[in-house]
Chain A
Amino acid sequence: MDKANNTDILPLELKDVNFEVGGMRLIKDMTLTLNAGSSTIILGPNGAGKSLLLRICHGLITPNSGSILWRGPSRNEAGIYQAMVFQRPVMLRRSVAANLHFGLKSRGTPKAERDRIIDDMLQITGLTRLARSPARALSTGEQQRLAIARAWSLKPEVLFLDEPTANLDPAATHAIEETIASIKQSGTKIIMSTHDLGQAKRLADNVLFLYRGRLLENAVAADFFNRPKNDLAQAFLKGELLWWNRKELKTPAELKHRDVLKK
């Protein structure tokens, strides 16, 4: 299907979104538009607000101010066109197949179709031989593949992935990236966070660069990786950000804020 022209809920618009916990602003004045067709990778160091942004977009967290608007024709039931994969896969204490079944049942997929979809998904993700195994007995890589299969089985228009390979070895990461590429091929919009630059280069069409709750750069991937405009993004791409300090721009309040975060 050609999602670029024929969408259900996309594009997604965020306007002046702020989110704070205990007086600390963790997402600051975020304004952006996400369109169908391309994969968007959210880049940034730990604590940049990548996970929060995904959760806010997906509706798991309500921001303190600002608006999140789905612009497509089915916006009133936007939830059923989305799915999310978390950093640590959430496995129900059931078999692999039953984990897939639960997702389909929750979304109201007709009974008659469930078994066929489950078989297909197991095959595509290479989990068929494990269908009857308890999901929690799987390796972390297999669990994450199952989590992605469960999300994909819902045929979402938008799939959110929160650092899905953060805990995985290179082989498992490779398998997950291949699956994500297939999901993109099938017409699903990928919105994924990562702090792995190589992975971002492999998967991104567009990049959102976040730093301490702010969106510092929103660019086409090639432009971002070749000519990042923001100085913090330049430092991040050189792998220097963790010890890099933009001292001249910091007010005492911000420094204090950072100390609070450290604690």
Chain B
Amino acid sequence: MSDFSEAFAAALALILNFESSLAEIVGLSLQVSLVAVFIASLIGLPLGAALAVFRFPGRKTLVVILNALMGLPPVVVGLIVYLILSRSGPLGTLGLLFTPTAMIIAQTLLIMPIIAALTRQSTVQLWHEYEDQFKSLGAGPGETVTALLWDDRFNLVTTILAGFGRASAEVGAVMIVGGNIDHVTRVMTTTIALETSKGNLALALGLGVILLCLALGVNAAAYLINEAALKRHG
């Protein structure tokens, strides 16, 4: 037990001093996950809204696949991206394996389906309400998708934050395609896994606390934004 409390004290000291090794890891984690969320949103938001609005052959199949992909295991995504980016893979010549870019690609693939599927679920309700009015006004396809995304913006913030939560918490994909290389591709989750097995509990716990706070902060933000939106728009 004293081991644990010592480790915890050391962890707090690490956080309070914001040591450079810790800062580097937290920084890279945020950078990778934020860029992945940004790219995934850029694709997933319009894709989700388009699936809510447009009728075309194969739409239902696509929706089912997208929903299934929400539960995609990170290690499988890691493996697939690894195979594509490895020397003998189709994109091997780019030399991206074991770089932060590879980690961004993996996380983007991981969370894009989540953002798209949740966006569809959310905007489809709004579309039921708007459909006749939009058809009556003669709104074009682009206009319709943009309007749905804008009018559903407060729900979609929660969707994006859910994607961010998933990205920042996953360890399997970034471990495989990043390789957990010190000062290059080491992020919070991979460090925790490594340092725990090495017995360096202080760093692992310190990062664990930061991750938890991040999750808490993200959820609090989502909650507050929704509250404000409800108050304003009903």
What residues of A have a CB within 8 angstroms of the CB of B133 in the complex? Answer: 84, 86, 90
Q: In this assembly, does A126 line the interface, its C-beta being within 8 Å of a C-beta of chain B?
A: no
Query: In this assembly, does A49 line the interface, its C-beta being within 8 Å of a C-beta of chain B?
Result: no
Of A102-110, A223-231, A238-246, which binds chain B?
Answer: A102-110
Instruction: Say whether B151 contacts A94, CB under 8 Å.
Output: yes
Q: A105-B143, A106-B140, A107-B138 are in contact. Are A93 and B132 (CB under 8 A)?
A: no
Does A32 sit at the interface, judged by CB under 8 A? no
A106, B143: Cβ atoms closer than 8 Å = yes
Task: Known pairs A82-B136, A94-B150, A137-B233; list 13 more (Cβ under 8 Å).
Answer: A60-B132, A86-B133, A90-B129, A92-B130, A92-B151, A103-B137, A106-B134, A106-B137, A106-B138, A134-B234, A136-B233, A136-B234, A154-B137
Please tell me if the beta carbons of B233 and A93 are within 8 angstroms of each other in the complex.
yes
| 6 A-B contacts (beta carbon < 8 Å) | A58-B136, A83-B136, A84-B132, A92-B151, A103-B137, A105-B143
Q: Does B139 touch A at the CB level, under 8 Å?
A: yes
Map CB proximity to B onto A54-98 as digits: 1 under 8 Å, 0 otherwise.
Answer: 010011100000000000000000011011101000101110000
Verify if B147 is at the interface (C-beta below 8 Å from A). Answer: yes
Interface residues of B (CB under 8 A from A): 129-130, 132-140, 143, 147, 150-152, 232-234
- Quick one: given A136-B233, A137-B234, are A90 and B130 in contact (CB under 8 Å)? yes
Residue of B at shortest CB range from A94? B151
Secondary structure dominating the interface of B: helix
B-facing mask of A37-61, CB < 8 A → 1, else 0? Answer: 0000000000000000001001110
The residues of A that contact B152 with a CB separation of less than 8 Å are 93
Judged by DSSP, the binding face of A is mixed
Which residues of chain A are within 8 angstroms of B138 by Cβ–Cβ distance? Answer: 79-80, 106-107
A90 touches B143 (CB 8 A): no
In the docked arrangement, what's the CA distance between A18 and B180, Å?
Answer: 68
How far is the CB of A101 from the nearest CB of chain B, in Å?
11
Please report the C-alpha to C-alpha distance between residue A59 and residue B150 in the assembled complex, in whole angstroms: 27
In the complex formed, the residue of B with least CB distance to A154 is B137
Across-interface contacts of A55 in B (CB, < 8 A): 132
C-alpha gap A12/B233 in the complex (Å): 39
Q: Which of B133, B135, B233 has the most CB of A within 10 A?
A: B133
Looking at the complex, which one of B132, B135, B233 makes contact with A134 (CB distance below 8 Å)?
A: B233
The distance from the CB of A153 to the nearest CB of chain B, in whole angstroms, is 11
Which residues of A in the span 127-141 have a Cβ within 8 Å of any Cβ on B?
Answer: 134, 136-137
Top 8 A-B pairs, shortest CB-CB distance:
A90-B133, A106-B137, A93-B151, A106-B139, A84-B136, A136-B234, A93-B233, A134-B233
> Which residues of chain B are near A106, meaning CB under 8 Å?
134, 137-140, 143
CB 8 Å contact bits of A203-225 with B (1 = contact, 0 = none): 00000000000000000000000
Residues of A within 8 A of B136 (CB): 58, 60, 82-84
